[in-house]
Amino acid sequence: MGMNDASISKAAVIGGGVSGIAAAYYLQKNGVPVDLYESLPGIGGRIGSDYMNGRPLDYGGKNIGLKYERFREFVKDLGGLDFEYFGFNTSQVINGRVSAFTKENERLYNILRVLSLAGLTGSIKLVPLLNAVRRDPSLGFLNTPYFNAIADRYDQRSLASFVPDKCAKYLLRPVTVRMNGAEPGECFPGNFGSNIALLLDSYEQLREGMQVMLDRFRLFSSSVTFLTGHHVSKVEAAEDVTRVFYTDGSDRLSSGYKVVIVTLPAIQASGLFRESLPDVASLLASVLYNPVAVALVAYHENVFTDMQRAMVFDQTSPLSNAGAYGVGDLDLVRYTFSGKAARKVVTDTADPKEVVALGEKIIEPYFHIRKNRRREYIYKYISPGLCAYSPFHHRLLERLDEYSGKYSGLYFTGDYRRGASLEACFRASAETVNCAMKRCFR
């Protein structure tokens, strides 16, 4: 095995998804050269675009909140990109009736609907949490004193037992299935602040898709060496050097660094430490991830109307959500399969064509599908897909920091640190880089 310690004054970032990109971006801002390891041929991870008739379409994370401060600053630094309005428009079948819920609706109507679904007990539990995040948006990320106290008090039971059934089913489920790929029974009250942040924001998307942003980032990052096609198999921390073991497609190699920032989903990060730090590996392995499948399907005629652009489905349906790709794309459907029922049917071996047909069958009673011919589609099965964290999650993070804190050169960040939104990934990486800078480079 080849060894190379020439990179000792550099930092290594493991993973080229949004968390790794953000870590490399902040390191570069601090004047630290970076080796960025990514096992796939391109960067992006769970964001990125595929092309349909030359148009880039995002299969992964794409909606950017108006409150995403760090992410927007990053885009500005890249030279700026055009955003387009996405809004918040969905409907739901409740007791056989379609009920619309949109940010474009009357505010009072929305509030009354939420209160009626929450019921008195649900409202008593949820309104204080909502108000807390509204007053202090920093509570919309994981691991804050306010929500850690909620976790300590309530996380021995799930979010489903925190509120009445109707409230969990119709109000919380659409949010947890979308953000965490999980049922309310698989999520925990102490982590719900990050879901509330999602509810309180309004959304845009990049007009030309995420791929353009990824390409810009590569051009922008003069002090980042992009080691794509480099799969990391192991990381070993010692007092003054942290060693990264990897293959570049043919050879097995290793390099030593002053600082290594691991940005992989916890479940994948776990695999790098099985031999060197088994306690860290088992902690990371206990963070929950759920798969998600996304199909983008173009039709000859409009499927949706201006007033009804999306629908969420209940826990019996493998299709969790179907919506127009953009405000002006009423003929382009984004089908999302996540949640418990989806996991049974939409597996890694499922035939994309059958999955698309399943989605169509489910939305057919509500939208113009039956005599509407399909033009083209893109399909992606993503696993690990959506992070659902863990009960008493702050304790897990604290223990992780205790273990890794023994080594000045080893850091962990990712979607399980501050939350799974793109903004939360940026925030977590910024904090991690700050910490590494203080300990190692100043």
Which residues are at the interface with ligand FAD (CB under 6 A)?
14-20, 37-40, 45-47, 60-63, 231-232, 263-265, 268, 292, 294, 382, 385-386, 414-415, 420-422, 425
Shortest spacing between CB 404 and ligand FAD, in angstroms: 17
> Please, which residue, 185 or 271, has the CB nearer to ligand FAD?
271
Residues 6+ apart with CB under 8 A from 133: 139, 140, 193, 196, 197, 200
> Please, which residue, 158 or 290, has the CB nearer to ligand FAD?
290
Distance between CA 176 and CA 164 in Å, rounded?
16
Shortest spacing between CB 42 and ligand FAD, in angstroms: 8
Shortest spacing between CB 165 and ligand FAD, in angstroms: 27
Q: What kind and span of H or E run contains 130?
A: helix 107-135
> Please, which residue, 264 or 277, has the CB nearer to ligand FAD?
264
Shortest spacing between CB 96 and ligand FAD, in angstroms: 29
Shortest spacing between CB 336 and ligand FAD, in angstroms: 7
Helix axes 173-180, 192-200, angle to 10 degrees: 100
> Please, which residue, 268 or 404, has the CB nearer to ligand FAD?
268
Shortest spacing between CB 292 and ligand FAD, in angstroms: 5
Q: How far is CA 29 from CA 17, 223, 381, in A?
A: 18, 10, 34
Q: How far is CA 131 from CA 2, 125, 126, 150, 196, in A?
A: 56, 11, 9, 14, 10
> Please, which residue, 362 or 420, has the CB nearer to ligand FAD?
420
DSSP assignment of 177-238 equals HHHHS--GGGS-GGGHHHHHHHHH--EEEETT-HHHHHHHHHHH-TTEEEEET-EEEEEEE-
Distance between CA 173 and CA 162 in Å, rounded?
13
> Please, which residue, 47 or 150, has the CB nearer to ligand FAD?
47
